[in-house]
């Protein structure tokens, strides 16, 4: 933004019109503003200004005569209008610029140049380039004289990444590694001593015998910015993946996301063993009192290097009741509120990876996962359809006998619970609450019917009868492919059970024929007739025995659910439609096999015939040649 140097009116319009107009139209936003005064050669000292107005600054003022007084009365308005155009001396110009900079924080650099004298013309473009490449606005708040919170947050993440032993200090070795990573050369011993001396002089708590603390690291960069060395801080920030808005660049996750690629609806995204070890380490580092749980303050500190929590489910009001909040000491913080355990912490990460892999990758970066290790943080499970079809159903599995390896190798299992509005109102559901649509459980390895590896079970609650299809949208084939088990709740009345079985058949009809179902008696006062009818239905459809969560322990119910999810052959309903489809598929396979075998036999016969005919022709030719 340019103005005429020394002209009060031109400079005044900057603050009264142009800058307010740019702010009103939001054209600048966070972009820096350079204020350039042109025609620097016209700015003169105060004595020169007086001489240019026709007065000798060393001579006494003379009294105006009568004629002068008359002329002054006639030209008073003209003189008043010219007062704004009066030339400012250097001291007055500097004072007005200082007031303008204090009022308008968008102004990053003030310069004056003269095309006539070729003064500072090149410097204007140099400063413009610096203002774009290394802007001060995102880093420094001139009004408070402090680094902005977003900049401090980014520097804190960089400090934690460079603090390889996680002791809260940057040792000389870690400082040299940081220096070599960002600038290519390590610090000399005298340079390290100079850094320590600068920090200890202004921030005594920034230095400790073990090395530089976080406060000292942040102060060092604040000093760089205050001295105009924004390029140093920006070099560090960009080396660790930050853009001009001090957010991690989107391209940092592109490699990991492209490695995941496109996956089918019956596949799920899971956290690898390496990723779980990384999350466990972060949990232990931020569990300052080592009580096995994260309080609200500790959880906020864990995500203090990120823009915020990954989602609303990370707030205590949301995750309480969704995941495990019972740890040592009753799972209570000092204030008596439930806190997040390690199992609950990992469960929320499993849920985030299942719902939004990109969000999980980005926040793994914010927590300190390196870009090189990011592709090993997530993985895609095998296709459920292929695993189920590859596994053969052993004899006796419906009754619970027989031992075999479950076909599903995935770690995160998804379960949908269908309950009527009355059941939800009476809180008669399976492992869920009326106001809690999703619950996440962790089942230890080897518990009950669960597989040998640890499992995460995601239970979603759906109101039967909701939606246009009466199944909450779960008659969509693509959505059903992402489900590992459907639970149909029934209560006291036989009519309710009949309606729920009809719902089960309607949902099963829309699926791929490989989705297991389970009936669950959610009413403690259910009569024997209703229970007996459920047993008869499960036997008729070759399903597993009905669940009874009202009388079973929660751990036993979880183990059974994991077993049914991991081994779907145990409870895939053999309905009339499915049996008819299996019969049709069997006929098609047999016909296809017969056609292939028949075509092969015919081809073999044709080849043999041709070979025989060829041999006969050769023998006939030999006989004729002998004759």
Convert the pLDDT of each residue in 117-145 to its tens digit.
Answer: 888 888 888 888 888 888 888 888 766 77
Residue pLDDT, tens place only, 9-62:
888 888 888 888 888 877 666 677 888 999 888 775 444 444 444 444 333 333
**Structure token digits, residue 231:** 């390029």
Q: Is the pLDDT of residue 201 over 60?
A: yes
- Point out the least confidently predicted range of 394-398, 452-456, 470-474, 596-600: 394-398
Instruction: Please tell me the predicted confidence (pLDDT) of residue 611.
Output: 87
- Point out the least confidently predicted range of 64-73, 107-116, 243-252, 543-552: 64-73
Q: Could you tell me if 33 and 108 are in contact, meaning their C-beta atoms sit under 8 angstroms apart?
A: yes
Q: Could you tell me if 134 and 238 are in contact, meaning their C-beta atoms sit under 8 angstroms apart?
A: no
Instruction: Please tell me the predicted confidence (pLDDT) of residue 305.
Output: 93
The CATH fold assigned to 2-56+82-133 is Rossmann fold (3.40.50)
Instruction: Please tell me the predicted confidence (pLDDT) of residue 291.
Output: 86
- Give me the mean pLDDT over the 476-493 stretch: 79
Cα separation, 484 vs 513, in Å, equals: 12
Q: Global pTM?
A: 0.75
Residue pLDDT, tens place only, 310-332:
988 898 888 887 888 864 444 45
Cα 590 to its chain centre, rounded Å, is 50
- Give me the mean pLDDT over the 327-350 stretch: 72
Instruction: Please tell me the predicted confidence (pLDDT) of residue 270.
Output: 94
Instruction: Please tell me the predicted confidence (pLDDT) of residue 425.
Output: 78
- Give me the mean pLDDT over the 467-483 stretch: 68
Report the share of the chain in percent with pLDDT over 70. Answer: 80
Q: Start-end ranges of CATH 1.10.238.10 in the chain?
A: 146-239, 250-380
pLDDT band at residue 271 using 50, 70 and 90 as cut-offs: very high
Q: For residue 123, give every residue at least 6 positions away whose Cβ sits within 8 Å of its Cβ, in sequence order, or none.
A: 111, 113
CATH superfamily label, 250-380: EF-hand (1.10.238.10)
Cα separation, 524 vs 527, in Å, equals: 9
Q: Is the dihedral of CA 35, 40, 45, 47 positive or negative?
A: negative
Q: Is the pLDDT of residue 443 over 50?
A: yes
Q: Start-end ranges of CATH 3.40.50.300 in the chain?
A: 2-56+82-133, 412-578
Plot region of 248 (φ>0 → left; ψ -120 to 50 → alpha; else → beta) = beta
Q: Could you tell me if 33 and 106 are in contact, meaning their C-beta atoms sit under 8 angstroms apart?
A: yes
The CATH fold assigned to 412-578 is Rossmann fold (3.40.50)
Distances (CA, A) of 7 to 93, 139, 140, 146: 9, 33, 31, 34
Backbone angles phi, psi at 7, to 5 degrees: -95, 115
Q: Could you tell me if 482 and 507 are in contact, meaning their C-beta atoms sit under 8 angstroms apart?
A: no
67 or 359: which leads in pLDDT: 359
Q: Which CATH architecture has domain 146-239?
A: Orthogonal Bundle (1.10)
What average pLDDT is seen over the chain? Answer: 79
pLDDT band at residue 106 using 50, 70 and 90 as cut-offs: confident
Instruction: Please tell me the predicted confidence (pLDDT) of residue 533.
Output: 80
Cα separation, 420 vs 463, in Å, equals: 6
Q: For residue 587, give every residue at least 6 positions away whose Cβ sits within 8 Å of its Cβ, in sequence order, or none.
A: none
């Amino acid at each position: 933004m340019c103005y005429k140097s020394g002209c009060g009116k031109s400079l005044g319009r900057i603050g009264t019109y142009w800058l307010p107009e740019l702010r009103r139209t939001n054209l600048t936003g966070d972009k820096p503003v350079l204020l350039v005064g042109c025609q620097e050669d016209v700015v003169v000292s105060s004595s020169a200004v007086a001489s240019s107005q026709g007065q000798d600054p060393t001579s006494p003022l003379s009294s105006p005569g009568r004629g002068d007084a008359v002329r002054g009365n006639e030209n008073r308005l003209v003189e008043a209008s010219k007062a704004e155009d009066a030339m400012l001396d250097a001291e007055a110009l500097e004072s007005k610029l200082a007031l303008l900079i204090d009022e308008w924080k968008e102004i990053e650099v003030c310069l004056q140049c003269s095309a006539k004298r070729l003064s500072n013309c090149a410097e204007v473009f140099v400063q413009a380039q610096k203002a774009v490449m290394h802007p001060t606005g995102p880093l420094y708040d001139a009004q408070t004289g402090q680094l902005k919170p977003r900049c401090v947050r980014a520097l804190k993440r960089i400090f934690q990444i460079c603090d390889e032993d996680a002791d809260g200090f940057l040792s000389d070795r870690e400082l040299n590694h940081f220096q070599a990573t960002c600038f290519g050369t390590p610090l000399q011993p005298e340079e390290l001593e100079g850094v320590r001396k600068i920090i200890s002089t202004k921030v005594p708590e920034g230095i400790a015998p073990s090395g530089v603390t976080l406060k000292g690291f942040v102060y060092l960069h604040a000093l760089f910015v205050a001295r105009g060395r924004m390029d140093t801080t920006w070099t560090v920030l960009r080396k660790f993946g930050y853009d001009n808005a001090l957010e991690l660049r989107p391209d940092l996750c592109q490699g990991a996301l492209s490695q995941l690629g496109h996956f089918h609806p019956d596949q799920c995204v899971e956290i690898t063993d390496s990723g779980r070890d990384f999350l466990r380490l972060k949990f232990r580092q931020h569990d300052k009192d080592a009580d096995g749980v994260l309080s609200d303050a500790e959880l906020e500190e864990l995500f203090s290097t990120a823009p915020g929590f990954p989602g609303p489910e990370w707030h205590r009001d949301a995750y309480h009741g969704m995941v495990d909040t019972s740890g040592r000491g009753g799972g209570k913080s000092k204030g008596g509120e439930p806190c997040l355990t390690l199992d609950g912490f990992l469960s929320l990460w499993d849920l985030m990876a299942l719902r939004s892999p990109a969000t999980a990758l980005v926040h793994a970066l914010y927590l300190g996962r390196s870009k090189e290790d990011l592709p090993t943080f997530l993985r895609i499970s095998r296709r459920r359809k292929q695993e189920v079809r590859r596994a053969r159903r052993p004899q006796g599995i419906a009754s619970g006998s027989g031992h075999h390896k479950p076909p599903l190798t995935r770690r995160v299992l998804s379960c949908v619970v269908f309950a009527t509005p009355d059941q939800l109102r009476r809180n008669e559901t399976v492992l869920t609450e009326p106001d809690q649509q999703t619950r996440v459980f962790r089942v230890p390895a080897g518990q009950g019917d669960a597989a040998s590896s640890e499992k995460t079970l995601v239970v979603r609650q759906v109101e039967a009868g909701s939606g246009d299809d009466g199944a909450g949208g779960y008659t969509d084939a693509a959505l059903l492919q992402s489900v590992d088990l459907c639970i149909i709740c029934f209560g006291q009345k036989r009519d309710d059970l009949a309606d729920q079985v009809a719902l089960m058949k309607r949902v099963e009809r829309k699926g791929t024929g490989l989705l297991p179902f389970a009936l669950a008696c959610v009413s403690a006062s259910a009569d024997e007739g209703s229970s007996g009818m459920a047993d008869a239905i499960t036997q008729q459809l070759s399903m597993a025995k009905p669940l009874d969560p009202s009388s079973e322990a929660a751990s036993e119910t979880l183990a059974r659910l994991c077993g049914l999810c991991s081994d779907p052959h145990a409870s895939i309903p053999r309905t009339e439609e499915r049996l008819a489809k299996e019969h049709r598929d069997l006929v098609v396979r047999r016909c296809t096999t017969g056609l292939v075998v028949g075509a092969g036999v015919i081809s073999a016969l044709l080849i043999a015939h041709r070979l025989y005919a060829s041999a006969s022709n050769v023998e006939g030719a030999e006989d004729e040649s002998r004759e």
